[in-house]
Every structure is written in C-alpha cells, then in structure tokens.
C-alpha cells in the first residue's frame, strides 16, 4: 500500500523552493527558454494522481487510508457495494465505470476497472457510446441527483427509453453536495437548501422528481429498484439490488437502474448517525423503497432486430488496411501535409482563401477540412479559418498549432503567432514585419499583398496574392491546381484575369524577395 501523502515539512519546503526557482526561470518575453515542466503560461502541468489518493483503501488499518468523501457519506458505502459485486461476479476486467461530476467525480481513483470521467449529466450518453462500441463490456453510469435528474434529465430518460444495456446507479441525497448545497430536483418539500432557504415550496420550485417511478413508466427498462443505505438491513437490500443489476447486464438483458437514497451529513449539517436516521425518517417516506420493474426473464421488444455491432474502427473506416488503400489511390502532386490558419478581418477574403485551398486539396486527392470562425459583424470583424490538407484521414478540423499562419493584418499576426509550431512559417500581409515583433524559431515573411493587389487593379485580390505566396513557399499544392480552381470559381472574366496575375505576383514575390533576406525576422532568419 502506498502512502505518498507523508511529506515532511522540510520536504515540502524544498519542493516549494524548487518550484519557485524553476518558475522564475520559465518563459518570459525576454527569456524564450522554456522549462519543459511548465506550460506557456508558466504553470507546471501535472499528469499524475494526487497523493491524497491511495492505491488501496483498506478499511481497518487504523483508518489510515480514508477516501475523499466526508465521514458518513453514502457514496463510500455505495462504492463498496459496487466493488464487492464486481469482484464476486468476476466482472472487474470487463467493466467500464463512467463517473459523473459531483462529489463522486473521483470515482475512477477507487475502482480498478476501465474508467471514463464525463461532463456533468452526460454519463448515460457516454455510457451508451461505450457499451455500443464494446458490447461485451459491463458499463456502469454512476450519478448524483443533480447530475442525473437536473442537467442530465434528457440523457437518462432517453438512454432508459432506448433500453441501453447499461447499469445506472443513481445516488439520491436530495441536494447538490459538491457545489455546497443548492436545491436538487429531488430536494423534498420543505427541505432547506442554499437556493431554497425557506424550504422547497411546490408553488415556486415544483415537487421533487421521483426518478425510479419515472423511469419505470418507460417500456424498455428491465429492472428498476429504489434502495437506501440508511441502516444495515437496508444496506443488505441495496447490496442485492446492485448485484442483481450487474448480473442482468452481464446476461445482456437490458437497461437496469438502481436509485440509492444516501446520506450527505455535511450539507445536511448532521452527524453521520443523525444523517442515516434522516434518510430513514424523511427520505424513505417521500421516496418509497420498491422494485418498480423486474422483467427478467422476459425480453423487452427493443431487444429484437438489434443491428449487427461494429467496432468503432470499423464504423469510422480507420482500420490500417483502409488507410493504406486510401493513401495508395490518391493522385497528388503536393510535397507535404499542411495545417494552415488564415486570419484577418471580414472582407479580406480570409474564409474564401481557405475554401479555395480545400477545393484544390480535394482535386489533388487529399483529405481536407475547413473550419471557419468569425464574429457577428459582416465586415471588419475578425475572421479566421483552419485548413487541413492531409494524406491521412483528418481527426479534427480544429488546428491548435498550425504549420503556416497567413496573417492578413497585424492584429492576426500578433494574436496567432504564438500558436505556430516551432520551425513553422508566417506569411504576413504587410510591407515589413513590425519592428517590435519577435517570435523565436519561426520564419516570418512580410508580403505587401494589399499594395500589390491595388497595383493589379483590385484590393480584393490581396488574398490571392497571399495564396500564390503560400503555394510557392510551402509547395503544399500545385499552382496549376490553383489556376483551374480559380477558372471554375470566378465567373467574371476581368476579375479572373486579375486573380491570375495576383497568383503569379505572390509566387514571384517569394522567389525574388523572400529568400534573399529582403523580408524576414529582425534576427535575420530568412
């Protein structure tokens, strides 16, 4: 058993000192050296478990290894019941536990199974995806009453209604625990909370939701029971319910739901014993314990006509074989994949430039994506787009770190320069790089595109000048493809002629100026 939490005062002090020292040396404007331990904001990124969580939570070793739950909290008891059932049924190795947002957000530290932690209320939706993609697994959605019955009402109702073959453990403590005691949908009439300080009034806040009864009105669920962890007898019943729900899932029967009335001594402001009594005396009369649905061995109608299951990789056609075939058939003339961000003001043809690039990419047999982002203003608001050109399938159209930034104005240059990958390129629409602008390890080329476009007869074609420069500098797409795309897209012949000239002008500018040091970083990187 690990006991990582014991750190002597000296240890702590020296750790703090080390941190402080490194932080002082972290990245600053004048000192671009970055300690790999720190992110660009100077904070240390920690990818490990906090030392307050142990490898094992043995019960009686002088109560050393306590969970993060408050004394007397029902979550700990429910965790134990689930863990015992998984072990007894031999399901540990195939279980995937979906933990919620709420006091049980750290459930993944307590269950040595597959774990996924999801956004508030979304556990049944995520559990659906997991179960459907891994039908042989045992998928548990674990949720509090705020999570399941407030923000996540739609998710639970629809997962239950679809008869997803998952198990939902719903811990109802009639309050929002984690956030300090706001009213939950299950808060009882008259019960005080921070958001109902005079007690819940049906006239204002409505009546408490009875989730087990509600779920049991649906056709698909096979097992719905409400239990309580209020005293030993009820805990034994809860144990049986937990086990039964998991057995039914193991046997592939259908959707199972166990609501567990559970004490929250801290928010209820009671000691653990009084909190348990309160569950018995106040909660159970409001939320009667009952088996609301037990359909085994009947198979509900939704179990029929189940379409054949495919793995995620098959469904997305991303098996290694598919990739090879795809890459093999592409007829391409470009030299390398590119992630490009084009940014400027609305009206500068920023989004159009991105669209032209992806059209060219498609014609060259590449995988492409174009993701625009712009404000509500039609003109002059800031606009940018992300363009991916790739031989492989594209995972996301969102580009956090472009290889190339095409900055159509100074604002975009300053705003997005730090995102560009080390060794990347910035093409800047301007006469020269601003004197105070410095980014290490990037090539910055200023192209007076607006001026050149003016001379050609239309300021509008500055984006095409930049496109010519981009193609020449990166060789990511063939200029011939650019011409054919322009010929198809630009209907006015006089404008097409200017576009052709703009494309050529941009290319020539790179050939003639960029590589002889006329434009570049102040430090002479050219």
Ligand X SMILES: Cc1ncc(C[n+]2csc(CCOP(=O)(O)OP(=O)(O)O)c2C)c(N)n1
Q: Which residues bind ligand X (CB under 6 A)?
A: 101-104, 120, 144-147, 151, 173, 176-179, 184
* Shortest distance (Å) from residue 187 CB to ligand SF4: 13
Dump strand ranges (E) for 93-200: 95-99, 114-117, 138-144, 167-172
Task: List the one residue out of 347, 356, 466 whose CA is nearest residue 406.
Answer: 466
Task: List the one residue out of 390, 387, 382 whose CA is nearest residue 366.
Answer: 390
State the helix-helix crossing angle for 479-489 and 350-363, rounded to 10 degrees: 110
Q: Give the 3-state secondary structure of residue 10.
A: helix
Exposure string for 287-312, b = 16+ CB within 10 A, e = fewer = bebeebbeeeeeebebeeeeeeeeee
| Residue of minimal Cβ distance to ligand X | 144
Using the minimum distance from each CB to ligand X, give the nearer residue, 178 or 214: 178
Using the minimum distance from each CB to ligand SF4, give the nearer residue, 137 or 234: 234
State the binding partner of 113 from ligand SF4, ligand X, none, CB within 5 to 8 A by kind: none
Cβ pair 263, 282 in contact under 8 A? no
State the binding partner of 265 from ligand SF4, ligand X, none, CB within 5 to 8 A by kind: ligand SF4
Which residue among 177, 349, 448, 479 contacts ligand SF4 (CB under 6 A)? 177
Using the minimum distance from each CB to ligand SF4, give the nearer residue, 185 or 265: 265
* 266 contributes a contact to ligand SF4 by CB under 6 A: yes
Compute the distance between CA of residue 279 and CA of residue 233 in angstroms, rounded to an integer: 13
* Shortest distance (Å) from residue 71 CB to ligand SF4: 8
Using the minimum distance from each CB to ligand X, give the nearer residue, 144 or 424: 144
* Shortest distance (Å) from residue 172 CB to ligand X: 8
Residues whose CB falls within 8 Å of the CB of residue 439, separated by 6 or more in sequence, listed in order: 417, 418, 420, 426, 521
State the binding partner of 176 from ligand SF4, ligand X, none, CB within 5 to 8 A by kind: ligand X
* 519 contributes a contact to ligand SF4 by CB under 6 A: no
* Shortest distance (Å) from residue 76 CB to ligand SF4: 8
256 phi, psi to nearest 5 deg: -125, 140
Using the minimum distance from each CB to ligand SF4, give the nearer residue, 208 or 402: 208
Give me the 49-78 binding string for ligand SF4, x by CB under 6 A, dash otherwise. --------------------xx--x-x---
Using the minimum distance from each CB to ligand X, give the nearer residue, 146 or 354: 146
Compute the distance between CA of residue 120 and CA of residue 144 in angstroms, rounded to an integer: 10
Compute the distance between CA of residue 380 and CA of residue 411 in angstroms, rounded to an integer: 12
* 107 contributes a contact to ligand SF4 by CB under 6 A: no
* 163 contributes a contact to ligand SF4 by CB under 6 A: no
Pair type for strands 290-294 and 223-228: antiparallel
* Shortest distance (Å) from residue 205 CB to ligand X: 16
Using the minimum distance from each CB to ligand X, give the nearer residue, 76 or 102: 102
Which residue among 96, 103, 127, 461 contacts ligand SF4 (CB under 6 A)? 103
* 265 contributes a contact to ligand SF4 by CB under 6 A: yes
Compute the distance between CA of residue 101 and CA of residue 157 in angstroms, rounded to an integer: 18
Cβ pair 362, 368 in contact under 8 A? yes
**Site of interaction with ligand SF4 (CB under 6 A):** 69-70, 73, 75, 103, 173, 177-178, 264-267
């Amino acid at each position: 058993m690990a006991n990582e939490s014991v750190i002597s005062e000296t240890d702590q002090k020296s750790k703090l000192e080390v941190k402080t020292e490194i932080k002082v040396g972290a990245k600053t404007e004048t000192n671009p050296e970055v300690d790999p331990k720190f992110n660009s904001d100077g904070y240390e990124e920690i990818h490990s478990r906090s030392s307050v969580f142990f490898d094992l939570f043995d019960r009686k070793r002088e109560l050393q290894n306590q969970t993060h739950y408050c004394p007397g909290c029902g979550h700990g008891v429910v965790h134990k019941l689930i863990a015992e059932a998984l072990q007894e049924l031999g399901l540990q190795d195939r279980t995937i536990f979906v933990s919620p947002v709420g006091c049980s957000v750290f459930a993944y530290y307590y269950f040595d199974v597959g774990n996924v932690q999801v956004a508030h209320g979304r556990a049944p939706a995520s559990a659906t995806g997991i179960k459907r993609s891994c039908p042989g697994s045992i998928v548990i959605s674990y949720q509090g009453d705020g999570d399941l019955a407030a923000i996540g009402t739609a998710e639970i109702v629809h997962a239950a209604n679809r008869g997803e073959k998952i198990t939902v453990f719903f811990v109802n403590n009639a309050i929002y625990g984690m956030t300090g005691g706001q009213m939950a949908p299950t808060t009882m009439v008259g019960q005080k909370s921070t958001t109902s300080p005079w007690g819940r009034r049906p006239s204002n806040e409505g009546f408490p939701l009875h989730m087990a009864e509600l779920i049991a009105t649906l056709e698909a669920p096979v097992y719905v029971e409400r239990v309580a962890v209020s005293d030993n007898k009820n805990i034994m019943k809860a144990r049986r319910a937990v086990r039964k729900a998991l057995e039914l899932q193991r046997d592939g029967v259908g959707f199972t739901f166990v609501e567990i009335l559970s004490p929250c001594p801290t928010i209820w402001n009671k000691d653990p014993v009084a909190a348990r009594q309160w569950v018995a005396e106040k909660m159970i009369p409001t939320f009667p314990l009952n088996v609301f649905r037990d359909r085994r061995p009947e198979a509900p109608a939704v179990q029929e006509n189940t379409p054949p299951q495919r793995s995620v990789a098959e469904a997305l056609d991303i098996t290694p074989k598919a990739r090879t075939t795809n890459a093999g058939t592409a007829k391409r003339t470009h030299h390398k994949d590119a992630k490009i961000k084009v940014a400027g003001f609305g009206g500068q043809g920023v989004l159009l430039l991105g669209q032209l690039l992806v059209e060219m990419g498609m014609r060259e047999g590449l995988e492409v994506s174009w993701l625009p982002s712009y404000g509500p203003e039609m003109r002059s608001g800031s606009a940018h787009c992300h363009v991916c050109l790739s031989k492989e399938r594209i995972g996301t159209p969102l580009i956090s770190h472009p290889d190339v930034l095409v900055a159509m104005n100074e604002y975009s240059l300053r705003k997005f320069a730090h995102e560009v990958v080390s060794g990347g390129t910035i093409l800047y629409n301007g006469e020269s790089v601003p004197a105070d602008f410095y980014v290490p390890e990037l090539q910055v080329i200023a192209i007076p595109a607006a001026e050149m476009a003016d001379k050609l007869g239309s300021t509008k074609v500055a984006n095409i000048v930049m496109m010519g420069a981009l193609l020449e500098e990166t060789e990511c797409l063939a200029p011939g493809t650019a011409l054919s795309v322009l010929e198809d897209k630009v209907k006015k012949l006089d404008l097409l002629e200017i576009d052709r000239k703009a494309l050529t002008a941009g290319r020539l500018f790179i050939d003639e100026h960029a590589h002889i040091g006329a434009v570049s970083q102040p430090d002479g990187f050219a």
